[in-house]
Amino acid sequence: MAVGATAIALFVAGCSGGGSDEPEATSNTVIIGIGEPQHLLPSNTTESSGAQVLAALYYPLVNFDAQNNPFLVAAESIESPDNKVWTVKLKPGFTFHNGEPVTADSYINAWNHGAYGPNGNGGAYFFERIEGYADLQSTDPDEDGPQEAPEPKAKTLSGLKKVDDTTFTVTLSAPFSGWESVMGYTTFYPLPNAAFSSPGVLAEGFEEAPIGNGPFKMKGKWEHDSQIVVEKFAEFKGDPVKVDGITYKIYQDQKAEYADLVAGNVDVQTQIPIESLGTAPADLGDRFKKSPSSSFAFVGFPTFQPEFSKVEVRKAISMATNRQEMTDQIFLGSQTPATSFVSPVVAGYRDNSCGEACTFNAAAAKDMYTKAGGPAEIKITYNADGGHKAWVDAMCNQLIANLGIKCTGVGEPKFADLLTKVEKKEPVGLIRLGWIMDYPLMENYLGPLYGTNGSSNYYGYSNKEFDKLVAEGSAAGTPEEAIQKWQQAEDILAAEMPVIPLRHGQNVFGHSQKVTNVVVDAQARVDIFKIEVAS
C-alpha cells in the first residue's frame, strides 16, 4: 500500500456498500467507507480496505513524504554501512493498546510469524530478502502422488537479531538500498505478546480485535460486513490525531455508499463510483476531490490454463482493447490509459514500454487471435463490491466486436471472495486486479506481481530471466543501476504479456460537510492524522 503517506501497497478492492447497523456517531468522530477486509493481521493483509484499518491501529517504522522519500516514524534511527546489515533503533516510550511496551522483540516475533511458511501469510513474500527466509519455507517433495510437505528447517529468521530492548538488526541475504522503504509496508508492523498463545502461534481470535501500537485502538470487535470501530488511544506517543474515533463502515455496493455520502451518512468515500462521476461535481461541489495515486488497473491471464498459454492469444486480447475509449467513456477522463507495467509516480517509469501489444489495433488483433486459435468464449471475473461492472462490460463488448468471440463479465460478491477463488486456481477466466504500491520503487510493481514466488502473482507467471533481473536490480549499488535492470525485466513482461495493463488511476474521492482536511494518499488511504471535524 504505499505512496504519498505510508508505505503499504496492496491489491485494490475498490469500495463496497452497506452495513446493517448505523454506526454510532459523536461530535468528534468520523465515518469512512471501506470494503470488507480479507484479513486484519498485518502480515496477512494484502488489500486496501484492511490496510486502511491497520493504518489507524498501527504505527510504522517509516512513512513517506510527498516526494516518496522515507522518513522515520516509530524508528529513532535506521542505519546500514553496506545496505545488507541494517540496525533499527526504536523511539522510546511507545506501548501497545494493552499497555505492553513496544520492544525489539515485538518486531522480531511478528516478522518471524509472518515469514514462517506454514502460517500461510499473504505478505510473507516481503520477508524474502531477510537472511534465513528459505529455511522457514516448506518444500515440495517432487515425487509422484500426493505428498505431505516436510516441516521447514527453521521457525525463526537467522537475519533478525536483538541487540537490546529497543534495538535490533536485520541482515539481508543480499544488499538492497531500498530496504528502509520496504520496512514501511503493512507487513512490518509489530505485534504484542498478547497476539500469541505460545511462541510463533497466533492467539485465536486476535484478528477480530487486533492490538496495535498506533493512534487508535479497537472499540469492540470486527463486525463483519457491517463496521469496524476504533477510538483514540490516549497513551499514544506519536503524532497527534484530530478526531476521537473512526467508524469504518463496510459496504458491498459503491453506489449505496455514494448515496450515503451525498446524504451525509458517511464522511469519506475514497473512490467515487463510475456511475456517479458525471454528477459528483454538482452533488458535492468543492467536496469532490482528486489526488495523485499509484494505482494500476489490469487484467491477469491464468497462464496455467491451456487456452491462455499462448502469448499470441494474450497479446491479441490486449490489442483488441481500446483503453482510450474506455477511460473517456466510462471513467470520464478521471483515469489514463496504461501502456506500461509500472506507475508514472515511480522513478524508472517509461511511457509505452508495453509497445505494440498495448496499442489498439482491432484488425491485427483479430488476425493474431484467429491464427493462434484463441478460445471462442472467455469470461472476466471481477469483485462486484468494487464498482467494476461498467468497465468490465465495456471491455467485453470491445472483445466481442473486435475478436468475434463471446465474452461475459462475472461478478464475485466481494474482493476477498475473488482472491480466495484465484488462490485455489478455480476457473475464473481473466482476473480483474489492481495494485497500489507498497513502497515507492519500480521493483514493487515487478517482484510481487510477476516474480515466480511473488506474493500477488495469482496468474502463475514464471520466467527465470525476469526473476534474475529483478534480483540484480535489487542488489544494485545505485538507484540508476537498479532502474536499468528493472526496465530490462519490464521488457520481458511486454514480450510475454502475463497481464493486460489497462489504466493508471488517480484518487477521485468525496467527503461530507462534517469533515475537513481530507487527504487520500497514493495508496488510496485516508490520512488519519490530518482529517478533522469542521468547526
Q: 3-state SS string over 298-309?
A: EEECCCCCHHHC
DSSP state of 243: -
Closest of 332, 277, 246, 300 to residue 525, by C-alpha? 246
DSSP state of 252: S
* pLDDT in the model for residue 2: 28
Number of other CB atoms surrounding residue 142 within 10 Å? 6
- Show the cell assigned to 226: 457491517
Calculated CA dihedral for residues 267, 19, 4, 292, nearest 10 degrees: -70
Closest of 207, 254, 233 to residue 509, by C-alpha? 254
Cα(45)–Cα(68) distance, rounded to whole angstroms? 22
- Environment class of 363 (CB within 10 Å of its CB; exposed 0-12, middle 13-18, buried 19+): exposed
Cα(91)–Cα(164) distance, rounded to whole angstroms? 13
Percent of the chain with pLDDT over 70: 93
pLDDT tens-digit profile of 63-72?
988 777 889 9
pLDDT tens-digit profile of 164-203?
999 999 999 988 988 999 999 999 999 999 999 999 999 9
Question: The dihedral of CA 207, 211, 215, 220: what is its sign?
Answer: positive
- Environment class of 324 (CB within 10 Å of its CB; exposed 0-12, middle 13-18, buried 19+): exposed
Q: Looking at residues 274-292, what average pLDDT do you find?
A: 93
Q: Is residue 402 part of a domain?
A: yes
Structural domain boundaries, residue 419 = 295-502
Q: Is residue 469 part of a domain?
A: yes
We report the CATH number of the domain holding residue 409 as 3.10.105.10
pLDDT at residue 22 is higher than 60: no
Mention every residue, 6+ apart, whose C-beta is less than 8 A from residue 325. 394, 398
Q: Which residue has the cell 484530530?
A: 242
- Show the cell assigned to 271: 473512490
Question: The dihedral of CA 449, 453, 458, 463: what is its sign?
Answer: positive
Mention every residue, 6+ apart, whose C-beta is less than 8 A from residue 446. 341, 342, 466, 470, 486, 489, 490, 493
Q: Is residue 299 part of a domain?
A: yes
> Are 483 and 441 a contacting pair, CB within 8 Å?
no
Number of other CB atoms surrounding residue 278 within 10 Å? 10
Q: Looking at residues 105-122, what average pLDDT do you find?
A: 96
Q: What is the pTM of this model?
A: 0.78
Q: Is residue 392 part of a domain?
A: yes
Mention every residue, 6+ apart, whose C-beta is less than 8 A from residue 285. none
How many separate domains does the chain show?
1
DSSP state of 223: B
* pLDDT in the model for residue 140: 57
Query: Looking at the DSSP assignment, which residues form a beta bridge with residue 434?
Result: 297
Q: Is residue 429 part of a domain?
A: yes
* pLDDT in the model for residue 23: 44
- Show the cell assigned to 298: 489490469
Closest of 247, 188, 199, 308 to residue 53, by C-alpha? 247
pLDDT tens-digit profile of 337-351?
999 999 998 889 999
Helix (H, G, I), strand (E, B), or coil: what is residue 195? helix
Mention every residue, 6+ apart, whose C-beta is less than 8 A from residue 279. none
> Are 11 and 433 a contacting pair, CB within 8 Å?
yes
Mention every residue, 6+ apart, whose C-beta is less than 8 A from residue 426. none
HEC profile of 4-15: CCEECCCECCCC
Alpha-helix residue ranges (DSSP H) falling in 272-320: 280-284, 311-319
Q: Is residue 86 part of a domain?
A: no
What average pLDDT is seen over the chain? Answer: 90
pLDDT tens-digit profile of 356-388?
999 999 999 999 999 999 999 999 999 887 779
> Are 234 and 95 a contacting pair, CB within 8 Å?
no
Q: Is residue 20 part of a domain?
A: no
* pLDDT in the model for residue 1: 33
pLDDT at residue 499 is higher than 60: yes
Mention every residue, 6+ apart, whose C-beta is less than 8 A from residue 437. 1, 2, 3, 9, 294, 343, 345, 346, 444, 445, 522, 523
Q: Is residue 490 part of a domain?
A: yes
